[in-house]
Amino acid sequence: MADTENSVEKAEVGLDRDIFLRSLLRELAGTLEAVVGLDDASGYISVVGGAIGSQINQAYKKEINVQNLSREEIGEVLVDLKRRIEGDFYIIEADDTKIVLGNNACPFGEYVEGRPSLCMMTSNVFGTIAADNLGYANVVIEKAIARGDKGCRVVVNLVQPDEAPEGREYFGG
């Protein structure tokens, strides 16, 4: 009789907690998109992204001991938080009106492909952090790996436009 316990334990299945959780999120997003549509799925994921954005914002403010992050610190935080979760975000340009970020690697890895609703995590985390500290943010995801682009381009507008904005608006307290 074969030693099935050892052969099962030694099997190179390619499964660990990280892969399992990314697969879970991919399937959850896909199910939401299929059942309620992309817009509503994005809305549900937005709620989660906003809550996570608030948690991350509070953690950074506590650790660097500030009441509010400056525009420069917000840019640094957005890049740093994505680095910590294995994204490859970087600042393309930044001024008093906007922060433009690029990205070469999604934290969800290949599991994000075909799941554009997951981009609402980035939009809401970025928008929540910027708006909480500066009062307003509008996030436009111009390019996204999830939509088949080679990389991401995310514009975080920090000034409310006169006309209706293109992206998602966030308001701070």
Angle ∠(117,169,62) on CA atoms, nearest 5: 90
**pLDDT for res 8:** 87
* pLDDT tens per residue across all 173 residues of the chain: 555 567 888 888 888 999 999 999 999 999 999 999 999 999 999 999 999 999 999 999 999 999 999 999 999 999 999 999 999 999 999 999 999 999 999 999 999 999 999 999 999 999 999 999 999 999 999 999 999 999 999 999 999 988 877 899 999 97
**pLDDT for res 117:** 95
Integer angstrom CA distances of residue 25 from 31, 102, 122, 137 = 10, 23, 14, 26
In this structure, what DSSP letter does residue 123 have?
H
List, in order of start, the domains of the chain with CATH numbers.
15-171 (3.30.1380.20)
Alpha carbon 141 to chain centroid distance? 11
CA quadruple 13, 14, 18, 19: dihedral positive or negative? negative
Spatial contact of 73 and 67, defined as CB atoms under 8 Å apart? no
